[in-house]
Amino acid sequence: MIGVVCLNPALDITYHVPAVDWAGTNRPSAVYARPGGKGLNVARTLHSLGADVLAMGLAGGVTGAEVAVALSELGVPAEITQIAEQTRRTVTIVDGRGDVAAFNEPGPRIAAAEFADFAARYAKAVTRCTAVVLSGSLPPGLPADSYAALIEMTTAAGVPAVLDTSGAALALGVAARPAIVKPNLSELQALPGRPLVTGQGTDLEAVAAAADELRAAGAQAVVVSLGPDGLLAATADGRWHAFPPGAVAGNATGAGDAVAAGLAHALVRGLPWDERLRHAVALGTAAVAAPRAGEFSTDDYTSGLAKVTVRRDPVLRDGAR
């Protein structure tokens, strides 16, 4: 069973409007409401992959109830710790002429006792997990070392942890020695505060050096998602670069969650690093091509596997492709 920690889930509401009147009244032609937030996207992707998954999250209020009901309808097992404040909503307006506007409510404030309640339940559940993914930003009220505390419990149980977050939560989480951390380029760049992108594009050598630093700080492996440039990994089994045949048109929202899900799924299946990265790139690419964030076409995913290029110890300074 793969556990997925979702401390800041959301109810994602999407309206499709053929031609939005940004100064008037609109009647959406389609309305979708579904569980969201990075953690729940990972859990849904793992569930779609056929993995045995358990979403472990904090939720409250009627939007929290709606998230729990929707997860149940999707067949995603979940263990929800109730909180007093209401789970946030996001509203996305998709204009048929091309623009997409998103409105993200602030997350609910989590009380210390609520997180303690969650952690106690987590300590029990983690012993039944083969891996755990911790994904997304921390909601207001939680200290920046909250993921670090959960990772320490995970590692103590002999279970590998995959961490996908940013800022101080990432920096402190790394020190707790997760099996994999998966920053994207801007999250990695923010850590030491130095540029990884130059006028000539992404400086892959600098990315690899920053990834090595995260390994030195505690992470057992670092996988950096580079958008259309694929994944750059620093592992105990060497450096790797894996990338798709070309840029894919579509919606990049949620592609990083697909990558995290793919890494965790390949990890529990015991695949070596080249295959882990191949699966993660194919899944991320299929997610970009899917019309809605957090979804993917199984055909796109499986047919994409053979198209991924994986290089070990690539020569980065000359450009990897």
CB of 96 to a copy of itself, least distance (A): 14
- Sequence letter at residue 174: V
**Residue from the set 19, 25, 198, 306 that interacts with a copy of itself by CB under 8 A:** 25
Least separation, in Å, of the C-beta of 211 and a copy of itself?
27
Binding of residue 89 to a copy of itself (CB under 8 A): yes
**Which residues lie closer than 8 Å to 216 by C-beta, 6 or more apart?**
none
- For residues 16 and 311, which CB has a smaller minimum distance to a copy of itself in the complex? 16
* 27 makes contact with a copy of itself (CB under 8 A): yes
Say which residue the tokens 């750059």 belong to.
Answer: 232
Residue 79, strand partner residues: 56
Q: Would you say 87 or 189 has its CB closer to a copy of itself?
A: 87
- The number of angstroms, rounded, from the C-alpha of 62 to the middle of its chain's C-alpha atoms is 25
Query: Is residue 245 within 8 Å of 117, Cβ to Cβ?
Result: no
Which residue in the list 257, 274, 300, 313 is annotated as catalytic?
A: 257
The amino acid that residue 64 corresponds to is G
- Shortest distance in whole angstroms from residue 88 CB to a copy of itself: 9
Contact region with a copy of itself (CB under 8 A), list: 19-27, 186-194, 254-262, 289-297: 19-27
- C-alpha 308/C-alpha 311 separation (Å) is 10
Which distant-in-sequence residues (6+ apart) come within 8 Å of 201 by Cβ? none
Q: What φ, ψ does residue 86 adopt, rounded to 5°?
A: -90, 135
Supply the minimum distance, in Å, between the C-beta of residue 36 and a copy of itself.
Answer: 13
Closest CA to 270 of 160, 166, 187: 160
Stretch that binds a copy of itself, among 40-48, 74-82, 89-97, 194-202 (CB under 8 A): 89-97
257 catalytic per annotation: yes
Ordered DSSP codes for 193-224: T---EETTEE-HHHHHHHHHHHHHTT-S-EEE
Structure tokens at 304: 């994409």
Stated as kind and residue range, the H or E segment containing 98 is none
CB of 98 to a copy of itself, least distance (A): 8
Report if residue 102 touches a copy of itself, rule: CB under 8 A.
Answer: yes
Q: Which of 5, 7, 8, 15 binds a copy of itself (CB under 8 A)?
A: 15
**Nearer residue to a copy of itself within complex by CB, 97 or 124:** 97
Least Å from the CB of residue 125 to a copy of itself: 26
Total binding residues toward a copy of itself, as defined by CB under 8 A: 31
Give the nearest distance from C-beta 66 to a copy of itself in angstroms.
4
Backbone angles phi, psi at 8, to 5 degrees: -135, 60
The reply on whether position 84 binds a copy of itself by CB under 8 A is no
| Number of Cβ atoms within 10 Å of the Cβ of 136 | 28
- The site string for a copy of itself over 52-81 (x = CB under 8 A, - otherwise) reads ---------xxx-xx--x------------
The encoded tokens of residue 104 equal 């993200």
Query: Between 13 and 207, whose beta carbon lies closer to a copy of itself?
Result: 13
For residue 176, what are the contacts with CB-CB under 8 A and spacing of at least 6?
147, 148, 149, 151, 152, 155, 161, 218
Closest to a copy of itself by CB, 3 or 57: 57
Among 77, 79, 104, 250, binds a copy of itself (CB under 8 A): 104
Query: Reduced to 3 states, what is the DSSP secondary structure of residue 60?
Result: coil
Q: Beta-carbon neighbour count of residue 33 at 10 Å?
A: 15
Is residue 12 involved in binding a copy of itself (CB under 8 A)?
A: no
- The site for a copy of itself (CB under 8 A) is made up of 13, 15, 17, 20-28, 31, 61-63, 65-66, 69, 89, 91, 93, 95, 99-106
Indicate which residues carry an active-site annotation: 257
